Amino acid sequence: MRFGVVVFAGSNCDQDCYHVIRNVLGKPVKYVWHEDANLKDVDCLILPGGFSYGDYLRPGAIARFSKVMDAVTEFAERGGLVIGICNGFQILLEAGLLPGAMLRNRSLHFVCKFVHLKVETTDTPFTNLYRRGQIVRMPVAHGDGNYCCDEQTLKALEANGQIVFRYCDEHGNVTPMANPNGSLANIAGICNEQRNVLGMMPHPERCSEAILGSTDGLTLWQSIVKWLEGKG
Amino acid sequence: MKKAIVLIRLKPSLMDAQGAVIKRALLQLGYNSVTDVRVGKLIELTLDSEDGSEVTAMVREMCERLLANPVTEEYEVLVENTD
């Protein structure tokens, strides 16, 4: 089993992801440069956070046309696991690997803080070790995390159980007050219909070690390992 | 040579947080007749072509593929001659 961390021009969470996979999770990991098109020896791809191409035009709009993205799309279509975090989520949306789009945060502020999330489904390769309805703490750090999609798409997301994480308060109540960015239906993370592509604004790689204030993100990486091992 | 002006607007159904803040500031300045403010983007392209309709078609394609996000935005393309 090997993880790959895609490095775009302007990624800035690539090393955090690499560190967690290698030193905390103890699994093999390699960087994948955005001009590479070879993903043959990778089982799970991470599109990390950052500000690819300075967020010019729209976050993720330029990175989405990187050479590596054709390979990522093909990898995802073959059932490979892809997780996009923050800017990685925005890139997956722009690439059409996940439905919807991001708008500026409702407050217009860059929001950088710990938030509470409700794990809405454990039926994904990324969340199978959480409990359904579990409340977890993870940090967010973004200016464009206001998820938006049309009514029909939202209905499909709800009906198919594709909403993976929602912003909530510490008691698990999904309220407007607990929504840090104005995101539709308090959406913090969604997966595709096939459930092998996950996009999320919160940063699990920043809460995978006790010294960082929460280990709730580690469960996500462990879920991926469990799923890949079960498959192999 | 042609110049293409691309106007990109947030879909009317979407709340424009920037526009709302600007509207509030304008009202504070005493422009009481302002009832709505929407903020968009303007992109100017210069193209080495003499064929206006070809330019329009190509720039619309650019909008579909890259310049605008069809989920959240609408676009308008205006083409003029440069001299």
Q: What is the DSSP letter of B23?
A: H
| DSSP state letters, chain A | --EEEEE-TTB-SHHHHHHIIIIIS---EEEEETT----TT-SEEEE--B-GGGG-SSTTTTGGGSHHHHHHHHHHHTT-EEEEETHHHHHHHHTTSSS-EEE--TT-S-EEEEEEEEE----STTTTTSPTT-EEEEEEEES--EEE--HHHHHHHHHTT-EEEEEE-TTS---GGG-SS--GGGEEEEE-TTS-EEEESS-GGGSSBGGGTB-TTHHHHHHHHHHHHHH-
A86 is catalytic: yes
Q: What is the mean pLDDT of residues A149-173?
A: 98
Least CB–CB distance from B72: residue in A57, A148, A182: A148
Joined together, the tokens standing for residue A179 give 């929504």
Separation between Cα atoms, residue A218 and residue A6, nearest integer Å: 20
Chain B residue whose CA is closest to A153: B71
The complex's ipTM? Answer: 0.89
Give pLDDT tens digits for B9-51.
999 999 999 999 999 999 999 999 999 999 999 999 999 999 9
Number of structural domains found in chain B: 1
Collect all residues of chain A within an 8 Å Cβ-Cβ radius of residue B72. 101, 103, 148
Tell me, what amino acid is at A111?
V
Reported as a pLDDT band with limits 50, 70 and 90, residue A232 is: low
Q: Which residues span the domain enclosing B28?
A: 2-81
Q: How far apart are CA A146 and CA A103, in angstroms?
A: 5
Q: Tell me if the domain spanning A3-231 has CATH number 2.40.50.100.
A: no
Which residues of A fall within a CB distance of 8 Å from B25?
Answer: none
B10, B18, B71 ranked by CB distance to A100: nearest:
B71
Q: Which residue has the tokens 């956070």?
A: A49
B69 and chain A in contact, CB less than 8 A: yes
CA-nearest of A215, A176, A191 to A124 is A191
**pLDDT, tens only, A4-59:** 999 999 999 999 999 999 999 999 999 999 998 889 899 999 999 999 999 999 99
Can you give the pTM of this predicted structure?
0.95
Sorted by where each begins, the domain ranges of chain A are: 3-231
Of A61, A108, A182, the CB nearest to B18: A108
CATH code for position B30: 3.30.1280.10
Q: Which of A58, A109, A149 to mutate to test the interface with B (most CBs of B within 10 A)?
A: A58
A108 and B14 in contact by Cβ < 8 A? no
Maximum pairwise Cα distance, chain B = 47
Spell out which chain A residues touch chain B, with contact meaning CB-CB distance below 8 angstroms.
57-58, 61, 65, 93-94, 100-101, 103-108, 148-150, 182
